[in-house]
Amino acid sequence: MQTILVTGGCGYIGAHTIVDLIENGFNVISVDNLSRATDKSLLGIEKITGKKVKNYTVDLTDKKATEEIFIENPGITGIIHFAAYKAVGESVELPLDYYENNLFSLVHLLQMSVKYHVKHFIFSSSCTVYGNPDTTRVTEATPLQTAASPYGATKQMGEVIVKDTAFTYPISAILLRYFNPVGAHPSTAIGELPIGRPQNLVPAITQTAIGKLPKMQVHGTDYDTRDGSCIRDYIHVCDIAHAHTLALQYSIKNNQEKSCEVFNLGTGNGITVLEAIQAFEKVSGVKLNYEIGPRRAGDIVAIYANNDKAVKQLGWNCKYGLDEMMLTAWQWEQSLAK
């Protein structure tokens, strides 16, 4: 049984990916300093899979503490690296925090990969690397524009760091650029649990619907889109999670054409913020209390994925539609209130 280190394993996408990895026969170790997550997700993982996952509460910007994980766990086959700060708006306010956390942690992990012969590295990238693209439906070959936020810049830099490392050392790397993960595991044992006021759309929707927030704000309806609100590619978190397992298997089977490959992970459908709200209201039967506010710094107008490459090379397909994304997110929010 091959051992995979998942960083940010207590976080939203990390926890769902751990479940998918276990269900596909991998042994998993987690590292998460719990600065942006809680360890409650470990109980949810155990409930779903029947497996207890060990988590190291280590800050990956601490190189010595990071190395201790590798010393204690010889024979790690691969790393899936999620651990990062990820709020676009916050990154505009705290750029140095984002550069320090997101880049130092990545460099330390890659140094450990080289030193301890970890051959497979999956990097959690983002559609923010495209900046404000010339086309709204982007492929992996779409030229990257200047990032619209420090968060996006850390993902652009991170991709370069991973690519350069894989070119020089015997590491097979995959960069997964995902779009807007939403929803929750159908069991409602794990889901998105932001600390503090949610920065992402769907948790803001569900928390408003259940009464945790008195109302939510739509950031701008004066964009050049069909209803004036931003367009995004919302994708179910379980579909995202499974793509990481497929990418790891693809790398292990030595199917990669290059030492570092890139894949878009999105549904290929652009949904406006107001359409997402309407979808939620339809599946939940709850009328949402929202107001129109000004544009938010760091937001781009519209972007969604061309996912042909992931479908063809990884054998990946999206199983969940928008209604299921909203329904599982709502069921998760309701489960938290019990």
Mind telling me the catalytic residues? 151
What are the Cα distances from residue 329, in Å, to 205, 206, 284?
9, 7, 10
Q: Which residues, in sequence order, are CB contacts of 4 under 8 Å at separation 6+?
A: 21, 26, 27, 28, 29, 76, 77, 78, 79, 80, 248
Return the ∠ at Cα 164 (arms to 160 and 170), rounded to 5°: 140
Q: Which residue has tokens 């990669």?
A: 256
The CA–CA distances, whole Å, from 13 to 23, 212, 291, 319, 325 equal 15, 23, 29, 16, 14
Greatest Cα pair distance in the chain: 55
Who contacts 246 (Cβ-Cβ below 8 Å, separation ≥6)?
Answer: 314, 315, 316
